[in-house]
Amino acid sequence: MSSPTQSVQRDFILEPEDNERLANLAGPFDEHLRQLELRLGVQIANRGHVFRITGEQRAADAAEKLLRRLYEDAGREPLDARKIHLRLGESHLAQVAADDYAAQEVSIRVKRGNIRGRGANQQKYLHSIATHDINFGIGPAGTGKTFLAVAMAVDALNEGRVQRLLLVRPAVEAGEKLGFLPGDLSQKVDPYLRPLYDALYEMLGVEKVAKLLERNVIEIAPLAFMRGRTLNDAFVILDEAQNTSIEQMKMFLTRIGFGSTAVVTGDLSQVDLPKHQKSGLRDAIDVLRGIEGISFTFFEAHDVVRHPLVARIVRAYDARDGKDPPP
């Protein structure tokens, strides 16, 4: 008998034979099949209605079950990337073998070209975002946590898997008091959200970002504005999450609705909260690690992709704080 992590090949036929239904299932240029491959960690090949799935046994079982269900759906309604994403979420099949196979390489098409993970940790991070509904990226500045999350959000929007992007930051004063900054509330919090704008501009261009912001397809807001909302069919990024309180983190995570993906990023070495207050990010690590459907990726100094001096600076501070010694 095969073990759950042993690679298998599974052959089956989708019936009744209907070429129009088959084309609906596969999508333009087989986009729907590629989406299923990424989420389930399998390879899908077909010759007409005869399908072959290659992958770990549990993932192959899940893929066959989902393909049969989607083939039924394809006979009743047009399928698109968003409906495939929703069906994956409803079935809870995307996590069946997420920890049992090596992360597949994720390539993201943006305005300037393709973005791929640099190194194993970034590749794991991208794959986790593709296969989990809630994701945490934790580590020092310069490791690509926010940039890659925004790239995945833009890709999900372009592919129609979500209807809008929400980019959120806690407006915690880091040496400046909001009340003493000039302008209205929007102008006061803009400096805190600037890194998110910069990432969007790089991937979509200034003009397109401005249009999407005007239509509320992209929303950039302080964390406090999230209370009372439920977010369906959205890609939500909470940046600088080390500066959330425990209550704020719980509030944010419970906003997530059907068809949504959330990414929480933060650096626990740069907490600007009062010294007596525990970071909501640190608390979430303690409470939520091991919960099915939630992924954690921890970055270290060697994952820094900025100037080489940045990695050395991170290591020096880690050494001072009793962590890994500098080289």
**Which residue from 58, 64, 61 is spatially nearest to 45, judged by alpha carbons?**
64
Q: How far apart are CA 105 and CA 292, in angstroms?
A: 22
**Strands 134-138 and 294-298, bridge-based pairing:** parallel
Q: How far apart are CA 102 and CA 139, in angstroms?
A: 22
User: Looking at residue 7, what is its pLDDT?
Assistant: 79
Tokens read off for 219 = 């929303």
The alpha carbon of residue 126 and the mean position of all alpha carbons in its chain are separated, in whole angstroms, by 7
User: Looking at residue 92, what is its pLDDT?
Assistant: 54
User: Looking at residue 218, what is its pLDDT?
Assistant: 92
Per-residue pLDDT of the chain (327 residues; tens, 9 = 90+): 445 456 789 999 999 999 999 999 999 888 899 888 877 878 899 999 999 999 888 888 888 999 999 999 999 999 987 788 777 766 655 544 444 444 455 667 666 667 777 778 888 899 889 888 899 999 988 888 988 999 999 988 888 888 999 989 887 544 444 454 455 445 555 666 777 888 888 888 889 999 999 999 998 888 888 887 878 889 999 999 999 999 999 999 998 888 889 999 999 988 888 888 999 999 999 999 888 889 999 988 777 766 667 667 877 887 877 765 444
Farthest-apart Cα atoms in the chain, separation: 69
Q: How far apart are CA 236 and CA 164, in angstroms?
A: 9
CA distances from 38 to 17, 74, 97, 115 (A): 26, 20, 12, 16
Contacts from 245-249 at CB under 8 Å and sequence distance 24+? 245/273, 245/277, 245/280, 246/278, 246/280, 246/283, 247/280, 248/170, 248/223, 248/280, 249/280, 249/281, 249/283, 249/284
User: Looking at residue 305, what is its pLDDT?
Assistant: 67
User: Looking at residue 285, what is its pLDDT?
Assistant: 94
**Which residue from 59, 121, 119 is spatially nearest to 95, judged by alpha carbons?**
59
For the chain, domains (ranges, CATH) are 7-91 (3.30.1370.10), 109-295 (3.40.50.300)
User: Looking at residue 110, what is its pLDDT?
Assistant: 63
**Which residue from 35, 40, 38, 46 is spatially nearest to 59, judged by alpha carbons?**
40
User: Looking at residue 172, what is its pLDDT?
Assistant: 55
Structural contact between residues 236 and 212, judged by C-beta atoms closer than 8 angstroms: no
For residue 5, give the H/E element and its range.
Answer: none
